[in-house]
Amino acid sequence: MTVVGARPQFVKAAAVSRALARTGGFDEIMVHTGQHYDDNMSSIFFEEMEIPRPRYNLGIGGGGHGAMTGRQLEQLERVILEQHPDLVLVYGDTNSTLAGALAAAKLHVPIAHVEAGLRSYNRRMPEEINRVLTDHLSDILFAPTETARQNLRLEGITHEGIHVVGDVMYDATIFYRERAREPSWFPDLSIEREAFVLCTIHRAENVDDPSRLQRILSGLRDADLPVLLPIHPRTRARIAESMIEVGANIVLCDPVGYLEMTWLEANCAVVATDSGGVQKEAYFHGKHCVTLRDETEWVELVSLGVNVLVGADSEKIRAAIVARAGKPTVPSVVYGRGHAAGKVAEVLL
Residues with active-site annotation: 202
Distance CA 99, CA 10 (A): 16
User: Of residues 54, 277, 338, 342, which one binds ligand UDP by CB under 6 A?
Assistant: 277
Question: Least distance (Å) from ligand UD1 to the CB of residue 316?
Answer: 22
User: Of residues 258, 263, 298, 335, which one binds ligand UDP by CB under 6 A?
Assistant: 258
Q: Which does 256 bind (CB under 5 to 8 A by kind): ligand UD1, ligand UDP, none?
A: ligand UDP
CB contact at 8 A, 279 and 291:
yes
Q: Decide: is 170 part of the binding site for ligand UDP (CB under 6 A).
A: no
Sequence length of the chain is: 349
CB contact at 8 A, 317 and 219:
yes
CA distances from 312 to 19, 307, 335 (A): 39, 15, 27
Question: Least distance (Å) from ligand UD1 to the CB of residue 197?
Answer: 19
Name residues whose C-beta falls within 8 Å of residue 50's C-beta, 6 or more positions apart in sequence: 14, 18
What is the contact surface with ligand UD1 in residues (CB under 6 A)? Answer: 6-8, 35-38, 41, 61-62, 93-95, 126-127, 202, 233-234
Nearer to ligand UDP, 260 or 313 (CB): 260
Q: Which does 233 bind (CB under 5 to 8 A by kind): ligand UDP, ligand UD1, none?
A: ligand UD1
Distance CA 121, CA 234 (A): 24
Question: Least distance (Å) from ligand UDP to the CB of residue 125?
Answer: 11
Q: Which does 41 bind (CB under 5 to 8 A by kind): ligand UD1, ligand UDP, none?
A: ligand UD1
Question: Least distance (Å) from ligand UD1 to the CB of residue 57?
Answer: 12
Residue 5-44 contact track with ligand UDP, rule CB under 6 A, x = bound? --xx--x---------------------------------
Distance CA 343, CA 348 (A): 9
Q: Decide: is 341 part of the binding site for ligand UDP (CB under 6 A).
A: no
Q: Decide: is 297 part of the binding site for ligand UDP (CB under 6 A).
A: no
Q: Segment 81-120, which members bind ligand UDP (CB under 6 A)?
A: none
Nearer to ligand UDP, 85 or 258 (CB): 258
Question: Least distance (Å) from ligand UDP to the CB of residue 130?
Answer: 11
Nearer to ligand UDP, 85 or 230 (CB): 230
Q: Decide: is 128 part of the binding site for ligand UDP (CB under 6 A).
A: no
Q: Segment 203-232, which members bind ligand UDP (CB under 6 A)?
A: 230
Q: Which does 230 bind (CB under 5 to 8 A by kind): ligand UDP, ligand UD1, none?
A: ligand UDP
Q: Decide: is 276 part of the binding site for ligand UDP (CB under 6 A).
A: yes
Question: Least distance (Å) from ligand UD1 to the CB of residue 254?
Answer: 11
Q: Which does 197 bind (CB under 5 to 8 A by kind): ligand UDP, ligand UD1, none?
A: none
Question: Least distance (Å) from ligand UDP to the CB of residue 119?
Answer: 15
Nearest to 62 by CA among 199, 218, 195, 237: 237
Residues forming contacts to ligand UDP in the complex (CB under 6 A) are 7-8, 11, 200, 202, 230, 255-258, 261, 275-278, 281
